[in-house]
Amino acid sequence: MLESVSAATDLDLISYLRSIPDARMRRGVRFPAWYLLLVAVLGILSGCQSLRDLERFAIRHHAVLTESLGIGLKRPPSDSSFRYFFHQVDISALCAAIRDWTIAQIPGAAEDLDQLVCDGKTLRGSIEATAGGGSAFIAQVTLYSAAQGVAISQASLRWTGFSGQAPSLTFEVGYRP
């Protein structure tokens, strides 16, 4: 079972984001670390792919966020605010907090939780151009159990062209942790 490293105990994401230490110097800090992380999470879930996108998202939703959260911020964070903050944030603490929050959302928490990792590799020399300008290739996909430390299943698939979605792949897993 995974050990929780964040100090948060509530189910809301903000509590978990508040548990991440702020490595910035106190002088000149305009935005709480948890607020920048919350805006980043919401922005990424809304399709933001760059710091400029996060800035636009923050501007667009500034009034609603500050009112809903009951905080008095005069202006939204800029792309530079996000950039400077992300250079200093403790990535391992951020990953742990998000992992802990995700696990907290599962009824029964992490009892007997096993992380399954799916990884795929394209076989060398199997890529061929398709008539529509895409590519067709053969991939080997492996399902790995973190708790067991072994690959528990493998499958091969032929991907013919790009349609915006990966082909579905079903693993037959016959192991018990």
Pair (85, 120) in one structural domain: no
Q: First-to-last CA distance in the chain?
A: 12
Residue 150 lies in a domain: yes
Contact status, residue 144 vs residue 119, Cβ threshold 8 Å: yes
- The residue assigned the tokens 């992490």 is 110
Residue 107 lies in a domain: no
Span 113-140, pLDDT tens digits: 667 787 888 777 777 877 777 777 787 8
- Residue 177: per-residue pLDDT: 41
CB under 8 Å to 156, separation ≥6 — which residues?
A: 138, 139, 140, 141
Residue 52 lies in a domain: yes
Pair (28, 63) in one structural domain: yes
Pair (44, 85) in one structural domain: yes
Residue 121 lies in a domain: yes
Distance of CA 136 to the CA centre of its chain: 28
3-state SS assignment for residue 155: strand
More confident residue, 62 or 176: 62
Domains held by the chain: number: 2
Mean pLDDT of the chain: 79
Residue 128 lies in a domain: yes
Pair (84, 136) in one structural domain: no
- Residue 79: per-residue pLDDT: 92
* pLDDT band per the 50, 70, 90 thresholds, residue 52: very high
Q: Residue type for 175, please?
A: Y
Residue 96 lies in a domain: no
Q: Bridge partners of 135?
A: 129
Pair (74, 122) in one structural domain: no
Nearest to 43 by CA among 69, 82, 17, 8: 82
Residue 14 lies in a domain: no
What is the maximum alpha-carbon separation in the chain? 59
Report the distance separating Cα 132 and Cα 69, nearest Å.
49
- The domain of 68 spans 22-89
Contact status, residue 8 vs residue 22, Cβ threshold 8 Å: no
Using the 3D structure, point to which of 89, 104, 131 is the last residue of a domain.
Answer: 89
pTM of the model: 0.61
Contact status, residue 123 vs residue 27, Cβ threshold 8 Å: no
